[in-house]
Structure 1
Amino acid sequence: MDIPNSSQFSSFKDSLARRLMAKAVVSDVPDEGDALDEFTSYLAIEVWSMLLPAVREATYENRDQVPSADEVYLDNIPTSFIDTLTSCAFVEDSDAALTFLRKVLEDYLADVCAPPPMWSKTRTTECEICQREVPLTYHHLIPRETHSKVLKKKWHPESMLNSVAWLCRPCHSAVHHVASNEDLAKHLYSVELLLEREDIQRWRKYAAKQRWGVRRG
């Protein structure tokens, strides 16, 4: 089974899984683990390619061009999707299957078109590099002084400009020592990308062993 590789498809599949699990189902329908994942993937793939590109490519940035769930054209939905839902007793008939799908689409569009969280709501209790529970600072993953250049050159959408990582002061300083603000903005705009660097990996191993608050000298 060739599973589409996009965050939108993953969100659609998750929305479908939540709706399926909320239903009262018969005993022979998979309800956990790999079996549920395979079952949901099959149904999601059956529908995905039939949806309008505007739906499959929906994001917060283009939300004004995305139709609502009630406006999505569903007359081309494969009978295999409808037959599977009815035969497994998720729905009673084809009309109910399409109603079910619209609810899935409503959930999906709400997820992918939602605004990014305010940075204050992403706060962690541990440094995202060294994993120590110590006082934290916030590091703008796209440094503020680069924002105008980022938008002009279209490196990232505007919604990413306020993305932050919560770092202890030593790790925060280490990040700014390994790269310029422009390099951070263009190439190192996530914690995952930072942790791919060997110098940050070496720093992480060192910092993780240090006790916070110990006076040196």
Structure 2
Amino acid sequence: MTPETLSPQFSMFKDALARRLISRPGFADESSDPSELEDFTLYLADEVWPILPEPLRAATYYSRDSVPPVDDLSLDSTPPGFADTLTSCGLSDDADGAMALLRRVLDDYVVEACAPPPVWSKTRTTECEICERAVPLTYHHLIPREVHARALKKKWHPEEMLNSVAWLCRPCHSTVHRVASNEELARSWYTVEFLLEREDIQRWRAYASKQRFGVRRG
């Protein structure tokens, strides 16, 4: 995969496509293999993504005024494989139907990509996002405030992501700051999902999840 297809925008486009496909009668059910759906959707998204205008592929809330209207887009350069695949799988009647489906997917994508950034203080959870205990929580800046200026200068993250937070109990919060520096957190471990990929955080999580809050042992 190219760096561009690892972008948040590509993921949003691929997920919008997946939602449209899943909604088609008979396409997928509870017995369907999720990995096959992922591979199928990724193939179709990879076919289309490179031919889309750059402002569309880079769409965000802050660039929304430069995003071209989906109805005005020319999709003539869409690789034939996209329509052929949808038609052969019974997901569209013909090439025109495939292009109509693609425009609906693009409409969904633009709505999501250009949505206002969340008010992070309203994302509060009831359980720690690492140990999953229902205990008093603190908020952890996933991109530490001390490196915000550097993150913008180096273009590690868009400005709207700087105040993203995770809701963690105090022990988990302290552990996160022990395993990596602020710059490392900002560059490599800036989501809960990324943090949970670390073996040291996994080991801590296994331990912390079994601890009863407020109970001293011994």
**What range describes the TM-score normalised by the shorter chain of this pair?**
0.7 to 0.9
CA shift for structure 1 position 90? 3.6
Report the Cα distance in structure 2 between the residues aligned to 1:35 and 1:190, rounded to whole angstroms: 26
Please tell me the residue identity of whatever aligns with 1:68.
Answer: P
Work out the CA distance in 2 between the residues paired with 1:167 and 1:69.
Answer: 40
| Structure 1 gaps, min length 5 | none
Alpha-carbon distance change, 209 to 74 in structure 1, aligned in 2, over 3 angstroms: same
SS in structure 2 at match of 1:166: strand
Which residue does the alignment assign to 2:23? Answer: 22
Aligned residue type for 1:56: R
Give the corresponding residue for 2:126. Answer: 125
Distance in 1 (CA, whole Å) between partners of 2:207 and 2:85 is 54
Kept after mapping to 2: 8 A contact 1:30/1:39:
no
Match for residue 75 of structure 2? 74
Q: What residue is the counterpart of 2:101 in the other structure?
A: 100
Higher Cα Rg: structure 1 or 2? Answer: 1
Instruction: Give the TM-score, by structure 1 length.
Output: 0.75
* Residues 211 and 60 of structure 1, relative CA distance in 2, 3 Å threshold: same
Give the match for residue 136 of structure 1.
137
Separation of aligned partners in 2, 1:169 and 1:56: 39
Tell me, yes or no, if structure 1 residue 110 matches structure 2 residue 122: no
Q: Distance in 2 between matches of 1:50 and 1:178?
A: 42
Give 1:100 shift. 2.0
The number of aligned residues is 213
Whole-Å Cα distance in 1 between the matches of residues 83 and 66 of structure 2? 28
Unaligned residue ranges in structure 2 (runs of 5+): none
Please identify runs of 4+ aligned residues in structure 1 that moved more than 6 A. Answer: none
Identity value in percent: 64
Per the TM alignment, residue 183 of structure 1 is displaced from its structure 2 partner at its CA by 5.1
Cα RMSD over matched residues?
Answer: 3.4
Distance 1:87 1:208, change over 3 A: closer
CA contact (8 A) 2:16 2:105 kept: yes
Counterpart of 2:55, as a letter, is: A
Cα offsets for 1:124-175 (capped at 9, x unmatched): 2321232322111111222334434433443322111111111112222333
Name the structure 2 match of 1:65: 66
Q: Which stretch shows the higher mean deviation, 46-55 or 196-205?
A: 196-205
Q: Is 1:61–1:157's contact at 8 Å kept on the other side of the alignment?
A: no
Displacement of 1:76 in angstroms is 1.6
